[in-house]
Structure 1
Amino acid sequence: MSRGYLLGLDGGSSSTKAVIFDTDGNVVGIGREASRLEHPQAHWVERDMNATWASAAQAIRAALAAANVDGSEIVAIGVTAHGDGLYPLDRKGEPLGQAITSLDSRAAGIVERWCREGVRDEALARIGQMPFAFSPVTLLAWMQEHQPERLSALGHVLTCKDWLRFKLTGEVATDFTEASTGYTDVNTQRYSREALSMLGIDSVFDTLPAVRMPDEIAGHVSMAAARATGLKAGTPVAAGLHDVTASAVGLGNVESDTLTIAAGTFSINEVFSDAPKPDSRWATRNGLRPGQWLNMAISPASSSNLEWFHRQWGRAGDGDTGAFFAEMEASLDAAFQSPSRLVYHPFLYGSPYDEPASAGLFGLQGWHDRGHVLRAILEGVVFNHRVHVDALASTFPIDRVRITGGGSHSPRLAQLFSDSLGRPLETSRIQEAAAWGAAICAGVAAEVFPAIASATPLCEIDHRYTPEARRQAECQRGFERYQRLVECLRPLWATLDADAPPLASPAVEPQPSPTAGAAR
Structure 2
Amino acid sequence: MTKNGIIGVDCGSTSTKAVIFSATGEILGTGRCRVAQHMERAHHVERDPGEAWQAAASAIRDALADAGLDGRAIMAVGVTAHGDGLFVLDRTGHPLGRGIMSLDSRAQGLHEHWRAEGTLDRVFPIAGQRPYRYSATALLAWMRDNEPERYHAIGTAFFAKDWIRLCLTGRIATDLTEASTAFTDLHTQDYSDAILAMLGLSPMRGALPELLLPCDPAGTVSAAAASATGLLEGTPVSAGLHDVTAAAIGLGHTRAGDMSVTAGTFSINEIFHDAPVPGDEWACRAGYRRGLWNCMSISPGSASNLEWLARLLCPDEPAAAATFMRAAASRYLARGPVSGEPLFHPYLFGSPYEAPASASLFGLQAWHGRDEIVQALLQGIAFNHRYHVDALRRSGVVRRIGIAGGGTSEAGIAQMFADVFGETISVSNVREAGALGAALTGAVAVGMFPDLETAVEAQDVELRAYQPEPSRAAIQQDAYERYSRLVEAVKPHWDGLYGMGTGPDAGFLPGVPVVKQEENRA
TM-score, with length taken from structure 1: 0.93
How far has the Cα of 1:220 moved from its partner?
0.3
Give deviations 1:468-505, integer Å, cap 9, x for gaps. 0011001101100110000011111001111289xxxx
How far has the Cα of 1:316 moved from its partner?
3.8
How far has the Cα of 1:279 moved from its partner?
1.2
Residue aligning to 1:86: 86
- 8 Å Cα contact 2:418/2:467 also seen in 1: yes
- 8 Å Cα contact 2:250/2:437 also seen in 1: yes
Where do 1:205-216 residues align within 5 Å? 205-216=205-216
Distance 2:329 2:447 in 1: 45
Residue aligning to 2:350: 350
How far has the Cα of 1:32 moved from its partner?
0.4
Residue aligning to 2:474: 473
Q: 1:130 to 1:500 in 2, by over 3 A?
A: same
Q: 1:143 to 1:79 in 2, by over 3 A?
A: same
- 8 Å Cα contact 1:334/1:371 also seen in 2: no
Q: 1:226 to 1:32 in 2, by over 3 A?
A: same
Distance 1:392 1:450 in 2: 30
Q: 1:210 to 1:459 in 2, by over 3 A?
A: farther
Distance 1:494 1:124 in 2: 25
Q: 1:317 to 1:113 in 2, by over 3 A?
A: closer
1:279 aligns with 2:252: no
- 8 Å Cα contact 1:335/1:371 also seen in 2: no
Residue aligning to 2:375: 375
Distance 1:284 1:202 in 2: 23
How far has the Cα of 1:110 moved from its partner?
1.4
Residue aligning to 1:230: 230
Q: What code does the residue aligned with 1:462 have? A: L
How far has the Cα of 1:321 moved from its partner?
2.7
Distance 2:335 2:67 in 1: 40
SS of the residue corresponding to residue 294 of structure 1 reads strand
Where do 1:65-80 residues align within 5 Å? 65-80=65-80
Q: 1:24 to 1:54 in 2, by over 3 A?
A: same
SS of the residue corresponding to residue 155 of structure 2 reads strand
1:433 aligns with 2:445: no
Q: Could you tell me which runs of 5 or more consecutive residues in structure 1 were left unpaired when the two chains were aligned.
A: 502-520
1:173 aligns with 2:178: no
1:6 aligns with 2:2: no
Distance 1:166 1:97 in 2: 16
Residue aligning to 2:509: none
- 8 Å Cα contact 1:428/1:459 also seen in 2: no
Distance 2:335 2:357 in 1: 27
Q: What code does the residue aligned with 1:377 have? A: L
Q: What code does the residue aligned with 1:282 have? A: W
SS of the residue corresponding to residue 392 of structure 1 reads helix
1:49 aligns with 2:49: yes
Residue aligning to 1:508: none
Q: What code does the residue aligned with 1:480 have? A: E
Distance 1:396 1:12 in 2: 30
How far has the Cα of 1:3 moved from its partner?
4.9
Residue aligning to 1:513: none
Where do 1:132-171 residues align within 5 Å? 132-171=132-171
Where do 1:50-449 residues align within 5 Å? 50-314=50-314, 316-317=316-317, 319=319, 321-326=321-326, 336=336, 339-449=339-449
Q: Could you tell me which runs of 5 or more consecutive residues in structure 2 were left unpaired when the two chains were aligned.
A: 503-522
1:486 aligns with 2:487: yes
Distance 1:190 1:345 in 2: 38
- Structure 1 window deviating more from structure 2 (328-337 vs 312-321): it is 328-337
How far has the Cα of 1:428 moved from its partner?
1.1
Q: 1:433 to 1:459 in 2, by over 3 A?
A: farther
Q: What code does the residue aligned with 1:139 have? A: L
SS of the residue corresponding to residue 187 of structure 1 reads coil
Q: 1:84 to 1:459 in 2, by over 3 A?
A: farther
- 8 Å Cα contact 2:14/2:36 also seen in 1: yes
Residue aligning to 2:506: none
- 8 Å Cα contact 2:339/2:475 also seen in 1: no
SS of the residue corresponding to residue 97 of structure 2 reads coil
Q: 1:435 to 1:484 in 2, by over 3 A?
A: same
- 8 Å Cα contact 2:265/2:301 also seen in 1: yes
How far has the Cα of 1:433 moved from its partner?
0.7
How far has the Cα of 1:199 moved from its partner?
1.0
- 8 Å Cα contact 2:64/2:71 also seen in 1: yes
How far has the Cα of 1:100 moved from its partner?
0.7
Distance 2:99 2:483 in 1: 35
Distance 2:3 2:55 in 1: 28
| Root-mean-square deviation over aligned CA pairs | 1.6
Q: 1:96 to 1:137 in 2, by over 3 A?
A: same
SS of the residue corresponding to residue 268 of structure 1 reads strand
Q: What code does the residue aligned with 1:152 have? A: H
Q: What code does the residue aligned with 1:468 have? A: E
- 8 Å Cα contact 1:332/1:374 also seen in 2: no
Q: 1:320 to 1:74 in 2, by over 3 A?
A: farther
Q: 1:323 to 1:371 in 2, by over 3 A?
A: closer
TM-score, with length taken from structure 2: 0.93
How far has the Cα of 1:339 moved from its partner?
4.7
Give deviations 1:350-386, integer Å, cap 9, x for gaps. 1110111011111111111011001110011110111
- 8 Å Cα contact 2:254/2:453 also seen in 1: yes
Distance 2:373 2:288 in 1: 40
Distance 2:319 2:84 in 1: 31
How far has the Cα of 1:335 moved from its partner?
7.9
Give deviations 1:26-63, integer Å, cap 9, x for gaps. 00111000001111122111111100110110000000
- 8 Å Cα contact 1:335/1:375 also seen in 2: no
Q: What code does the residue aligned with 1:311 have? A: R
Give deviations 1:94-143, integer Å, cap 9, x for gaps. 11111110100110111111111111111111111011111101100100
How far has the Cα of 1:323 moved from its partner?
3.7
Residue aligning to 2:15: 15
Distance 1:185 1:359 in 2: 35
How far has the Cα of 1:89 moved from its partner?
0.9
- 8 Å Cα contact 2:257/2:399 also seen in 1: yes
